[in-house]
Amino acid sequence: MNMRSFFEAISVSCVVPAQPQAGGERTVFENLSFAVERGEIVDLVGPSGSGKSSLLTACARLNPHAHGTFALEGKGSGEFTPQQWRRDVAYLPQKPILTGKNVAEAIRLPWTLAIRSKGGKAEQLLPDERIRTTLDAMGCEDIDLARAPHDLSGGQAARVALARTLLTDPKVLLADEADAGLDDDNASKVAAIMADAAAHGMAIIRIRHRPPDGRATRTLMLDAGRLTDLTRDKEVRS
């Protein structure tokens, strides 16, 4: 696989320690390669425990048990600092952590960290109106920006975290079951928000267990250490 696609993962392997009583190591997957183009939405499916989250965290350079070669717009991940890479290749966990005294502060956290050493205010870079519009679009009209994050339901917290990630405008979004726990109507709104981001050039990889929603351009299946492109019905090889 040549480094010519928008985002590429090449020869990615993940080996984790086995259960203490078993000893040794367990290979989750080995030498997986795939590419995603700008504006694509790729669904990553497969049975629980097959390594889907491990693959996404590897792509985000967040998985200490994984290694491989990653490239964004033809530049290897080694040309980025870890912080730069994770800003452009953003991982959205299934169970997000929201820090701050209220929802607005939690969503502004990336801007607050970015400008802390420069002075200024995060509110000027990300005003309430923009946060409100984004939340309303994904069915969160009932979430007051002054509400404490710990008062949110699991589904609400997941959507607030998605809003925070999308508002940072990453080039690649790695979404780990962002629609888990949502009813069909709100899952559809989340899918529409992602589709709009893809239409503006973002590449998105979504781990999903729901039935197909018609938004994905391709579906990859990870099972028994093999990655198969179900759209083309063939194993993905480097």
Tell me, yes or no, whether 151 lies in a domain.
yes
Give the span between the Cα atoms of 119 and 98, in whole angstroms.
23
Decide if pLDDT at 238 tops 50.
no
For residue 117, name the pLDDT band (cuts at 50, 70, 90): very low
- The domain total for the chain is 1
**Residue range 145-180, pLDDT digits in tens:** 999 999 998 888 988 999 999 999 999 999 999 988
Strand partners, 73: none
Mean of pLDDT values over 182-186: 88
Tell me, yes or no, whether 2 lies in a domain.
no
Q: Does residue 30 or residue 233 have the better pLDDT? A: 30
pLDDT of residue 76: 96
pTM: 0.88
- For the beta carbon of residue 15, count every other beta carbon within 10 angstroms: 15
Tell me, yes or no, whether 1 lies in a domain.
no
Tell me, yes or no, whether 165 lies in a domain.
yes
> Are 205 and 177 within 8 A, CB to CB?
no
Mean of pLDDT values over 19-41: 89
Domain coverage including residue 218? 7-235
The token pair that represents 206 in the structure block: 């979504």
Tell me, yes or no, whether 117 lies in a domain.
yes
Tell me, yes or no, whether 50 lies in a domain.
yes
Tell me, yes or no, whether 87 lies in a domain.
yes
Residue 229 sits in a domain of what CATH number?
3.40.50.300
Tell me, yes or no, whether 148 lies in a domain.
yes
